[in-house]
Structure 1
Amino acid sequence: MIVDEIYGEFELEPVLQDLIHSSPVQRLKGIHQGGASYLVNRAWNVTRFEHSVGVMLLIRRLKGSVEEQIAGLLHDVSHTAFSHVIDFVLDKESEDFHEEIFEETLVNSEIPSLLESYGYSIEQVIKGNYPLLEQPLPLLCADRVDYTLRDLYRYGYITRDEVDSFVSSLCVVNDVICIEGMKQAEWFVKSYYKEVQDFFMDPLNVYGYDRLIQLLREALYLQVITKEDFLLQDEEVLAKVRTSESPELLKRYLEITSTVVLQENDKDYDIHLKGKPRLIDPTVIVKGQPYVSSEISNAINEMNTRAEHRARKGSYIKVKQKTRL
């Protein structure tokens, strides 16, 4: 039995139970979904483990195969410490470093032998086509839906009733996750932009990202950490920084954990951070027929236009004041 705060209680097959308890999946308990977020606000604490289990369970609710549930559970095992922060540290504009090392990370773990003991193969996970798990933007997929609902619910942006109502509206048509009803589609698009823009581009979040990127770049340069250390957990990497003899690194670390006063200001700024645009335009079912939601909803079309403009502009932050915690 597994209990999830978003999807409820489930009985799982033994292969899924054992995968959850495997070292690569358990490691994700120490990888925070928001990267630097938890360092500047301890309440921003969703982990890749919770998300990975959630993706598996959402695929299960949508009647996906056990193979696709396995793929959902394992899709983030190669995420590095601090998640997408490392893409900025390594100048990966496509933000896909974890995908580059996915196969190597899986193959060199206990996962292949565990899968084989239940009659599955690692090739199925790596090479398989899993349309419920992953779809290109702007379509819905289990990965995208789960991190939106999980973060926003945990952080108090959306209610339990809203989550339940939305999850109940999901269906699958031609292997694509769709939303039944325009009201729910508009709700999700609005919620999604709360996640990828209001939350990720929150000034405090941007500040944490910027300072952690600088810290980790400096730690790499000073050889206090190595690129391989990014396959440790967040706190294991930070422990190497804290126990180093570098005054510069300790100063940078204390900057992240200080109280700051921040202001959005695109004329006089200390930090400018941009990520790749993440626009959403889900398929909606209206009177039994599928539609691209923006083609029949002015509200969604307007939300997407505003979101694209904001994403391309990025976030400009002025650091007004810093105080040691």
Structure 2
Amino acid sequence: MQITNSLYGTFEIESVLEELISSPSVARLGQIHQGGASYLVNPLWNVTRLEHSIGVMLFIRRFGGSLEEQIAGLLHDVSHTAFSHVVDYALELEKEDFHEQIFEKFVKSSTIPAILEKYGFSYEEILADISKWTILEQEAPELCADRIDYTLLDLYRHEKISLIEVNQFLDSLVVLNGQVYLTDIAVAEWFVEQYYAEVIDYFYDPLNVYSHEILAEAMRLALKQNTITVTDFQLTDAELLEKLKQNSDAMAKIQLLWSNVCLEENNLDYTFHHKKKTRLINPSVLLDGKLIPAADISEKVQQMNLKARKKSESGFYLKVIEKKSI
């Protein structure tokens, strides 16, 4: 099977990857939006978990990762819930990790173990400890396939960066001892700037925050009134939305997404205080054979990190002003 990705190019992939992509559990990710509720208020914010998962898989492939690591990359988000992290806000989980809590159970109840066994792989060996796949996952503030792909994919689709810039960035990456590093400090500064455009400007965009808060409230109401259960979070976005609409209180909340409102950041007089887990980046740069954190050699990175940390720790204070019809 040949597969083409807008960021990483065209690849011929093995049958095991093709069958996994076609399996119900992975295909379901094509109906789950990575930005949670954001696509409901902005059609440009429409990246799916499947696009991201395939992107991570192909990034790992492009940079020499094993077939097993490519499988892990494809499956790392397979248990993600409908509307992604909105569920974490509905359940008030500060670590935003509900999909990780259910990962093992979700995989075991799917066709994934049988598919892997068919091709001579063990799902336990590949998925029991995702952290061993070092191109796929690294603790912040370093780079990894997951962190890189969701940043590049979102910003490219949101028309914030060009394919030329993406390729310049990818050409500056190197894998050393199974880990991804940059070889150019200017490119490191560029990526840090783009990363914070993602996690600060996009994640904390007033309309984005508003959509997440409203949908999370609708979910909490429906859970409290037993219209939905936690198991329903394993549905697709559209399926869960239809169930929420069966609850009049939840539906009243959802209709607010399309109401005539004005949104502004206001730390003193606010409707919602929205706080996400802290995401900071300080990629190491390979210079003269030595790995040096970008912030150690770039004042620009230092300043961006300070600003991002302050924003992450304080969160976003959103004031909702209803506009009256004339």
TM-score tier by shorter-chain length is over 0.9
The letter of the residue matching 1:249 is: A
- C-alpha separation between the residues in 2 aligned to 1:36 and 1:186? 30
**Counterpart residue number, 2:275:** 274
- C-alpha separation between the residues in 2 aligned to 1:161 and 1:321? 42
Where does 1:168-317 land on structure 2 (aligned, <5 Å)?
168-242=171-245, 244=246, 246-317=247-318
- C-alpha separation between the residues in 2 aligned to 1:249 and 1:287? 58
What SS is found at the alignment partner of 1:281? coil
**Residue 253 (structure 1) shift:** 1.2
- C-alpha separation between the residues in 2 aligned to 1:236 and 1:154? 25
- C-alpha separation between the residues in 2 aligned to 1:137 and 1:127? 21
The letter of the residue matching 2:53 is: S
Where does 1:10-29 land on structure 2 (aligned, <5 Å)?
10-29=11-30
The letter of the residue matching 1:216 is: M
Aligned partners of 2:193 and 2:304 also within 8 Å:
yes
- C-alpha separation between the residues in 2 aligned to 1:6 and 1:61? 11
User: Structure 1-normalised TM-score?
Assistant: 0.97
- C-alpha separation between the residues in 2 aligned to 1:209 and 1:155? 18
- C-alpha separation between the residues in 2 aligned to 1:93 and 1:150? 25
- C-alpha separation between the residues in 1 aligned to 2:60 and 2:25? 20
**Residue 289 (structure 1) shift:** 2.4
User: Is 1:3 aligned with 2:7?
Assistant: no
What SS is found at the alignment partner of 2:13? coil
The letter of the residue matching 1:144 is: R
**Identical-pair percentage:** 50
Unaligned 5+ residue runs, structure 1? none
**Residue 250 (structure 1) shift:** 1.8
After superposing the two structures, state which structure 1 stretch, 126-135 or 99-108, moved more.
Answer: 126-135
The letter of the residue matching 2:261 is: V
What SS is found at the alignment partner of 2:96? coil
User: Structure 2-normalised TM-score?
Assistant: 0.96
**Residue 323 (structure 1) shift:** 7.7
The letter of the residue matching 2:82 is: A
**Residue 127 (structure 1) shift:** 2.4
Aligned partners of 1:258 and 1:323 also within 8 Å:
no
What SS is found at the alignment partner of 2:196? helix
What SS is found at the alignment partner of 1:20? helix
Cα 1:148–1:323 change in 2 (3 A) is: farther
**Residue 66 (structure 1) shift:** 0.1
Runs of 4+ in 1 over 3 A off after TM superposition: none
Residue deviations 1:268-294 (CA, integer Å, cap 9, x gap): 111110011100011111233211111
- C-alpha separation between the residues in 1 aligned to 2:48 and 2:181? 26
Residue deviations 1:18-70 (CA, integer Å, cap 9, x gap): 11111111000111001111111121000000000000000001100000000
Unaligned 5+ residue runs, structure 2? none
**Residue 259 (structure 1) shift:** 4.2
Residue deviations 1:174-219 (CA, integer Å, cap 9, x gap): 2221011001100000000000000000000010111011000001
- C-alpha separation between the residues in 1 aligned to 2:14 and 2:66? 12
Aligned partners of 2:217 and 2:250 also within 8 Å:
no
- C-alpha separation between the residues in 1 aligned to 2:122 and 2:176? 28
Where does 1:65-214 land on structure 2 (aligned, <5 Å)?
65-128=66-129, 129-214=132-217
